[in-house]
Chain A
Amino acid sequence: MLVTGIKSKPVYAPLQADTRGRYHLMLGMGVGAAPLLRVIAEMRSAAAQSLKQTRVLYVPDTGGGAGIDEFRAAAVADVRLFDGTPALLEKFRATLSESLMGTRLYVAGPESFIGLVMKIALEFNLNKDEIRAEECGTLARRIYCIHCRATTEQVRTNIVRCVGCARWLLVRDHYSRRLAAYMGVMVDAEAPGELPPVKEVFL
């Protein structure tokens, strides 16, 4: 059962401003504020008028985040803070439905956050050349159980018990953009109860 070396595992790169875009939509969570502020600074020196067409949607989260003042100090007028990811995603979806061609998306935060944002961006047919994402923060994964279809959040271990069917799942690198989750496959189907060592690997 191939666990690593799977091509569907997303690859991320440090955020860079794309001033060919007309509108800039930035989404961040927790420590994702730092890359966003870096892009904003880059824009201010390269194409300051872009900041007038920039909107930030941000979930402060605990530890290492930024506040609204830091974005305001960076001269971005349109900043919205959210209590949690679901509220941010709801606003994101509404924003995309009113957005025009020429919009660029910048996403920074934990991979699970990026995945949920990408899932919605995909529904709006945004392509790779319209989205930039930088991974920072926890590597904890969303795991989709291929048996019962439940999604287990915040998985840090190589093997996890499914929240839906309680099977022990092996966490693979096989990633679904449509589900925004890694695939989990029953690990002890051949020999019930025989589990490999459980380790914390996604910290």
Chain B
Amino acid sequence: MSDEQTLAVEVVGIEQVTPLIKHFKLAPVGGGALPVFSGGSHIIVVMRGERVHKNPYSLLGSPSELDTYEIGVRRMEESRGGSHFMHDRVVVGSRLEIAHPVNLFGLDKIARKHVLIAGGIGITPFLAQLEDLHGGSVPYELHYSVRSHEHAAFLERLRRREGDRLHMYYDSEGQLIPFETLLADQPLGTHVYVCGPAGMIKHVIATAQSCGWPDSHIHWEQFSAPPVGDAFEVFLARSNLTVHVPPDQSLLESIEAAGVEVPYLCRGGVCGFCHTRVLELDGELVHNDHFLSDADKAKGKSIMPCVSRAQCKRLVLDL
């Protein structure tokens, strides 16, 4: 994705909705309408601080209102800088660049029922999906789990509109989503969607499968932040360039900083767009993506540079 494809936006509203989550409203610089999107879409926000950060955030506003985009950003304790930038440096009037919306977490259009499961900041893609579901004829229910009452972001908005379709669970009160009973008793043609912490997603997938759900009815989204790792060197064969990857910078970011473009959509290990061929390797790949199968990861012939790294002396990529 090149810079010409980004849109310039201005921050027109910021609200601290929980101790950790800020809600941002972004309007196009110079007015006009933003590109259309469907519920579940995300944008990449480009932040130019000391370093460039490009983070994916789900759009949480209504797909029918295109004068502003809304995103929710959780302050990550172990941030590599992106969420801290959004929380500490961005103010009303700040200008940012964003990439066009992409949907990797859309609703199944012919489902007979939708079961939505959110953990914490994982509520954001559902807020836009609910705009599509609300007032439709397909039944749905939302199960939303948060740490405690003060961490329940966007709760008033949800309560007002969803009524008894909203089921709240507070960790602080020992309330857990009853995954087994929930998934064992759904009518044929139901789809389940989960967005939240990695453990929750894994648990929902495993429980659904043990209840006999086929994979085509299980949907999940989790954007991984690129984990910190050891520094290593990568040689880009087609560009004839050697690039140093420091511990706190991703492989993709390092390659981009060297002036080589790699196609991407999510930068979170989900979409598969940055899939790159590994030509030579004298160590181990550290796969952190959700795209490659376990078998492909074991083969070591390809890597998703947005979140994955290597522990090696020499890595050669087909770039």
Contacts and interface: CB of A to CB of B under 8 A. Distances in A.
Contacts of A157: none
Interface string A25-59: 00000000000000000000000000000000000
A190 interface: no
Interface stretch (B119-127, B162-170, B171-179, B213-221): B213-221
Interface stretch (A81-89, A121-129, A141-149): A121-129
Given A96-B188, A126-B189, A127-B217, A104 B111 contact: no
Contacts of A125: 108, 110-112, 188-189
B209 A126 contact: no
A127 B218 CA distance: 12
A46 to B, nearest CB: 15
Contacts of A127: 214, 216-217
Given A99-B187, A126-B188, A22 B211 contact: yes
A30 B212 CA distance: 29
Q: B-side binding surface: helix, strand, loop or mixed?
A: loop
A11 B188 CA distance: 24
Nearest to B109: A125
A97 to B, nearest CB: 8
A124 B188 contact: yes
Interface centre among A22, A99, A102, A103 (most CB of B within 10 A): A102
B4 interface: no
B188 A103 contact: yes
B79 interface: no
Interface size class of B (residues with CB under 8 A): 20 to 34
B274 interface: no
B206 interface: no
B213 A101 contact: yes
A57 to B, nearest CB: 15
A102 B111 CA distance: 15
Nearest to B112: A125
B183 interface: yes
A81 B183 CA distance: 32
Interface in B81-119: 108, 110-112
A96 to B, nearest CB: 6
Given A99-B187, A125-B111, A104 B217 contact: no
A64 interface: no
Contact of B209 (A20, A96, A104, A130): A20
Interface in A66-116: 96, 99-104
Contact of B212 (A20, A96, A126, A128): A20
Contacts of A129: 214-216
B186 interface: yes
14 contacts: A20-B209, A20-B212, A20-B214, A21-B212, A99-B188, A100-B187, A101-B188, A101-B212, A102-B212, A125-B108, A125-B111, A125-B188, A126-B188, A127-B216
Interface of A: 20-23, 96, 99-104, 124-130
Interface of B: 108, 110-112, 183-190, 209, 211-217
Given A100-B186, A102-B211, 5 more contacts: A101-B187, A101-B213, A125-B108, A125-B110, A130-B214
A-B CB proximity, top 3 nearest: A102-B212, A125-B189, A22-B212
